[in-house]
Amino acid sequence: MLLITDEVTTESINYLLPELQDVGMEERTVRLRNGAQMPRIGLGTWKSPAEVTKQAVQAAVRAGYRLIDCANDYDNEHVIGEALKELLDQGEVKREELFIQAKLWNSNHRPEHVRPDLEATLKDLQLDYVDSFVIHWPMAVPSSGQKVALRPDGCYPAHFSQGTLFPLDDEGYYASDDASHFIETWYAMEDLVDEGLTKSIGLSNFNMKQVREVLEKAKKHLPSVVQNESHPYLQERDFRAFCRINGIVFQAYSALGSADRPWRHTGSITSGAPSTGHEVLDHPILRDIAQRLGRSVAHVVLRWHLQIGGAAVCKSVTPSRIQENIKLWDFALAPEDMDQISNLNVGWRHLLWAETSMHNDYPFKDWLPSDYKLEKPSAGSTAGAK
C-alpha cells in the first residue's frame, strides 16, 4: 500500500496514484524531526474575529481537525483557549491528540522577550505547552524599548511608545529594530524547547536564504516547520524541495488563495486580483476538475496540497465549511489533474506586506517593483489592523 508522505515527490505521486485502492488509508500526519506526528491539514485562525473563533475551533475539533494554528497578533488566542478548555474538560479530545501551533511576534525578537511572549500565549490558550512555536516574520520591531508587547497592548498600528504589536514611528511609518537579528532570536527559541514550553520550533515568512542561515547557525535545535504562503498560483517547488532535503516540513498558509484578504480593494501594491484574472477558487480549470469529481473547488486545492507533500492550514469560521473542508481522504486527483494545476503556477504572492520593506530582514524584496515607494500602513495592511 502506498503511503503519501512529505517524502514523496510530485512525480512519484502522479505515477503511482492510479494504483491507489484506498486513498483513505494514506498518512494524515507527517513526522517532524523530533519524532512528533503533525497533522497535515489544520485550521487557520488568521482574520477570524474573536466573537466567532471559539465556535469555529470547537466545530473543527469535532469534525476531526487536530491542528490549530494560532498567533498572538491575530487577537483571538484568548477565545481559542476558552474553546480548547471546554473541549478538554468535556473529554471530547485529549491534549496529547491535539497539535497546537503558535507564533512569536515581531515586537518580541529580543532574546529577553521571547519567553514572555510564549508565556502570554500559553496563558491565553490555557495550556502548559504548544507543539510548535515559530518565528512569525524575520523582521524585528521595537517593543516600546522596555517591555514585551502583548496582545492586550493592541493588535493595531500605533506609535511605538504605546507598546502596540504594530509600532509606528513619529511619521506614521512602521518602525523597525535593526539592532536585533533573527539568529539571536533563534537561540532564545531553542531554550524554550529545552524548558518544555514548546515541543518544536520553526519559521514563517522566511525566504530560502534566511532559512538556510538558521540551519547553518542553529546551536541545539533545527527548524521543524516552515509556514509560508503557498497555493496553486504560488507553488514554491524549489522551496518545498529545499525543506524536504533538510528535514523541514513545508506548511502552506493561505492554502486556498485567501480571496478574503482585507487589502484586496485598497489600491496598494498587494491589492487586486491575481495575474490570471481569477481568484484561486474561481479559476475555470479548478472549477472544471471539481465539477467532474463532484467536489468543491476547496477540496481540489487542498487535495493538491496533500499530493505534492507537506501540510496546509485553511481558515474558515463557518462550521459547515470547516466540516466539509477536511473530507479529503476518500478521493484523489488523477495525474492529468495534477498536471493542469501545475501549470497554474504564475508566481503570485498576495501577502507582501510591502510597508515593512525598509527592514534589513524583509524577506520579499525581490517581489517588489523597482520603483516601489515605501507606504504608510492603512486599514487592512497588516494581519491585525482594525
- Written in H, E and C, the secondary structure of the chain is CCCCCCCCCHHHHHHHHHHCCCHHHCCCEEECCCCCEEECEEEECCCCCHHHHHHHHHHHHHHCCCEEECCHHHCCHHHHHHHHHHHHHCCCCCHHHCEEEEEECHHHCCHHHHHHHHHHHHHHHCCCCECEEEECCCCCCCCCCCCCCCHHHCCCEEEHHHCCCEEECCCCCECCCCCCCHHHHHHHHHHHHHCCCECCEEEECCCHHHHHHHHHHCCCCCCCEEEEECECCECCHHHHHHHHHCCCEEEEECCCCCCCCCCCCCCCCCCCCCCCCCCHHHCHHHHHHHHHHCCCHHHHHHHHHHHCCCEEEEECCCHHHHHHHCCCCCCCCCHHHHHHHHCCCCCCCCCCCHHHCCCCCCCCHHHCCCCCCCCCCCCCCCCCCC
Q: Is 151 exposed, middle or buried (0-12, 13-18, 19+ CB in 10 A)?
A: buried
Return d(Cα 160, Cα 107) in angstroms, integer. Answer: 10
Q: Which residue has the cell 473530507?
A: 327
By the 8 A CB rule, do 132 and 224 touch? yes
Residue 259: predicted pLDDT? 54
Residue 214: predicted pLDDT? 98
List the catalytic residues: 74
The domains of the chain are located at 10-367
Residue 150: predicted pLDDT? 86
Residues 6+ apart with CB under 8 A from 346: 233, 274, 275, 276
Return d(Cα 334, Cα 14) in angstroms, integer. Answer: 7
Enumerate the β-bridge partners of residue 68.
43, 100
CATH code that applies to domain 10-367: 3.20.20.100
Enumerate the β-bridge partners of residue 67.
99
Residue 350: predicted pLDDT? 87
How many CB atoms neighbour CB 368 within 10 A? 14
pLDDT of the chain along its 386 residues, tens only? 223 333 333 343 333 333 333 444 468 999 999 999 999 999 999 888 888 999 999 999 999 999 999 999 999 999 999 999 999 999 999 999 999 999 999 999 999 999 999 999 999 999 999 999 999 999 999 876 567 888 888 888 888 888 889 999 999 999 999 899 999 999 999 999 999 999 999 999 999 999 999 999 999 999 999 999 999 999 999 999 999 999 999 999 999 987 555 545 554 555 555 777 789 999 999 999 999 999 999 999 999 999 999 899 998 899 999 999 999 999 999 999 999 999 999 999 988 999 999 999 999 999 999 999 999 987 555 543 33
Residues 6+ apart with CB under 8 A from 145: 160
Residue 386: predicted pLDDT? 32
Residue 382: predicted pLDDT? 55
